[in-house]
Amino acid sequence: MKVLLIGGCGFIGSHVADRLLADGLQVRVYDRRPELFRTPLPGVEYVMGDLADTAQIYEAMSGVDAIIHLVSTTVPSTSNLDPEADITGNLVATVRLLEMMRAAGVRKMIYLSSGGTVYGIPRTDPVAETHPLQPISSYGIVKVAIENYLHMEHHLHGLQHVVLRASNPYGPRQGHTGIQGIIGTHLWRIAKGEQVEVWGDGSIVRDFIHVRDLADLCLAALNSDASGCYNAGYGEGASVNDVVRGIDRTVQATGGAPVVPIYKPGRSFDVPRVVLDITRARTDLGWSPKITLDEGIAESWDWVREQIGNHTH
């Protein structure tokens, strides 16, 4: 099977590429920039281009059996600043992508949606796929709209599609810009000798999934005949304070100083608790997450320290 990874040089995409290669699949990556932390992978065909460039993307899908769409041009916290750019960069570009796929005869897509935003403020705990979709950010609204277009394409034109509503992925190659999640952000700050910042009192609870478990789920989705939406989380919650305590244990175990966070005022868009019910993915896709938060934090810390070492020597 030959698979096109759109956004395959990103945090999640880079792990999906690893997983597919390990399974013996042929991988072509389409992205507007190379990977940030690694040199190009042997055996992968790279095409540099923008999701909005329909002619180039049409060419890139020639001979491909399936597409995994891992591009987002926005992040939840800033998408409301310019909803129009969010709609154009993600929704319009993806609707065009679906048209190209129909023309090229590519009839399978895995799409990375967002379990942390499509449901809005959760009314149940945990949150199952049947929960109402009432996002409170443009990012979430656009994700829901894309999910609906995929469903329409399935219904009208037989596209097999698996939507993965990812929770909070973390792990090696998570960026340190502070927009991709707290575990990467905290670890990078500690490694650079900076203090960790916590927004609010640290009681908010999220569902953290190791990025390799998420990559495994992408492969399971690729190998399945299922179509529909699937929560993609660990299925258990951890508070921001739990995460800080886990990081503290890991850092001290490697000879580092105790981690003492600075507490800042909470942010209005942070809902108190989002934990995903992952029964559907377990049942239909035969998948389950394997990496515990403690194991994942320890591995991510080793990776961050390696990166810092590489840059200073």
> Catalytic site residues?
139
Selected range binding ligand NAD among 60-68, 161-169, 197-205, 276-284, rule: CB under 6 A: 161-169
Alpha-helical runs (H) found in 7-137: 11-22, 54-60, 83-86, 93-104
Residue 119 and residue 97: Cα distance in Å, rounded?
Answer: 25
Considering only residues 240 to 299 of the shown chain, the ones binding ligand NAD according to CB under 6 A are none
Alpha-helical runs (H) found in the chain: 11-22, 54-60, 83-86, 93-104, 138-157, 182-191, 211-222, 240-253, 279-285, 293-312
Q: Which of 82/158 has CB closer to ligand NAD? A: 82
Q: Which of 182/252 has CB closer to ligand NAD? A: 182
169 touches ligand NAD (CB under 6 A)? yes
Q: Looking at this protein, which amino acid is placed at residue 157? A: H
Q: Under DSSP, is residue 250 helix (H, G, I), strand (E, B) or coil?
A: helix
Contacts with ligand NAD: how many residues (CB under 6 A)? 23
User: Are 60 and 68 a contacting pair, CB within 8 Å?
Assistant: no
10 touches ligand NAD (CB under 6 A)? yes
Strand blocks (E) in 71-135: 108-114
Selected range binding ligand NAD among 20-28, 80-88, 164-172, 277-285, rule: CB under 6 A: 164-172
Alpha-helical runs (H) found in 87-226: 93-104, 138-157, 182-191, 211-222
Q: Which of 12/244 has CB closer to ligand NAD? A: 12
141 touches ligand NAD (CB under 6 A)? no
Selected range binding ligand NAD among 46-54, 153-161, 223-231, 268-276, rule: CB under 6 A: 46-54
User: Are 83 and 138 a contacting pair, CB within 8 Å?
Assistant: yes
Selected range binding ligand NAD among 17-25, 50-58, 150-158, 239-247, rule: CB under 6 A: 50-58
135 touches ligand NAD (CB under 6 A)? no
79 touches ligand NAD (CB under 6 A)? no
Report the largest interatomic distance among the alpha carbons of the chain, rounded to a whole angstrom: 59
Q: In angstroms, what is the minimal distance from the CB of 32 to ligand NAD?
A: 4
Selected range binding ligand NAD among 5-13, 102-110, 146-154, 256-264, rule: CB under 6 A: 5-13
Q: Looking at this protein, which amino acid is placed at residue 123? A: R
94 touches ligand NAD (CB under 6 A)? no
Q: In angstroms, what is the minimal distance from the CB of 73 to ligand NAD?
A: 5
114 touches ligand NAD (CB under 6 A)? yes
Q: In angstroms, what is the minimal distance from the CB of 313 to ligand NAD?
A: 26
Q: Under DSSP, is residue 262 helix (H, G, I), strand (E, B) or coil?
A: strand
Q: Which helix (H) or strand (E) holds 164?
A: strand 160-166
Q: Under DSSP, is residue 83 helix (H, G, I), strand (E, B) or coil?
A: helix
80 touches ligand NAD (CB under 6 A)? no
Residue 119 and residue 167: Cα distance in Å, rounded?
Answer: 11
218 touches ligand NAD (CB under 6 A)? no
Q: Which of 114/137 has CB closer to ligand NAD? A: 114
User: Are 110 and 162 a contacting pair, CB within 8 Å?
Assistant: yes
Binding site for ligand NAD (CB under 6 A): 7, 9-13, 31-33, 50-52, 70-73, 112, 114, 166, 168-169, 180-181
